Amino acid sequence: MLGSEYGIFEKRQVFRGLPVPVDNSAIEPNIGSVTIYSIRMELKDKKGIVVGAIAVVVVIVLVFVFVMSGKKGAAPAGNLPGAANTSSSSAPASLTHLPVPADVVVPEAGAQNVSSSVAVPQVESAAAPTSDAKYRSFDIIVQDNEFMPATIDVNQGDEVNLQIGAVGGNYDLTQPDYGIHVALPNGKNEHFEFGATAPGKFLFYCSTCGGPAKGPVGYLVVVGT
């Protein structure tokens, strides 16, 4: 009994000490399944990456086309009244704003040898105690479809006073870049003041006479400082 019990005990010890046999036939198919699943997931991930990249490219192309079409269709900004374009470009900022001629000399009050087409200030004084700008007052009439004198020369920063009268008809004085529009009834004198803030050669005209093409025209020349 002891021998047989010992033998049984010994067999059980040996049995318990050995590694449990593994059924490879049950594992190998699982390994293959995992491998195939991994490959499929990898392919699916790559497909997703490709699709995402294509979507990004399409969005970039659409944004580019939209931006370019917006630039082509955008209209150039016009001049705001009283705020003329001060760009140094030689191209005119508008039909009524031209570059200042190089040989302009601003006449002082009482100046002689000045062209009859250029207004000479009747009054001239310092615009402010600490400024080089001046207050200049001019007398202008409009008669027989003509401003006389037709050119007013001032320096940038000057305060300008215009005394203007209409003779023989109803007129007006219009300068869009400076936002000026003054009605000039026949036989009446009007006066107005403004600051010559922006340099340039500014066309003024009578809008009720048909505009620059038909009515009287003149020029306000503001020489830059």
Question: pTM for this one?
Answer: 0.60
Which of 8-22, 100-114, 140-154 comes out lowest in average pLDDT?
8-22
- Tell me which of 136 and 2 has the higher pLDDT: 136
Q: At 53, is the pLDDT very low, low, confident or very high (cuts 50, 70, 90)? A: confident
Residues 126, 136 contacting (CB under 8 angstroms): no
d(CA 156, CA 202): 13
Q: At 131, is the pLDDT very low, low, confident or very high (cuts 50, 70, 90)? A: confident
Tokens of 106: 């601003």
Q: At 14, is the pLDDT very low, low, confident or very high (cuts 50, 70, 90)? A: very low
Q: What is the structure's pLDDT at 47?
A: 64
Q: What is the structure's pLDDT at 10?
A: 44
The tens digit of pLDDT for each residue in 78-87 reads 343 444 444 4
Neighbours of 204 (CB within 10 A): 27
The tens digit of pLDDT for each residue in 156-197 reads 999 999 999 999 999 999 999 999 999 999 999 999 999 999
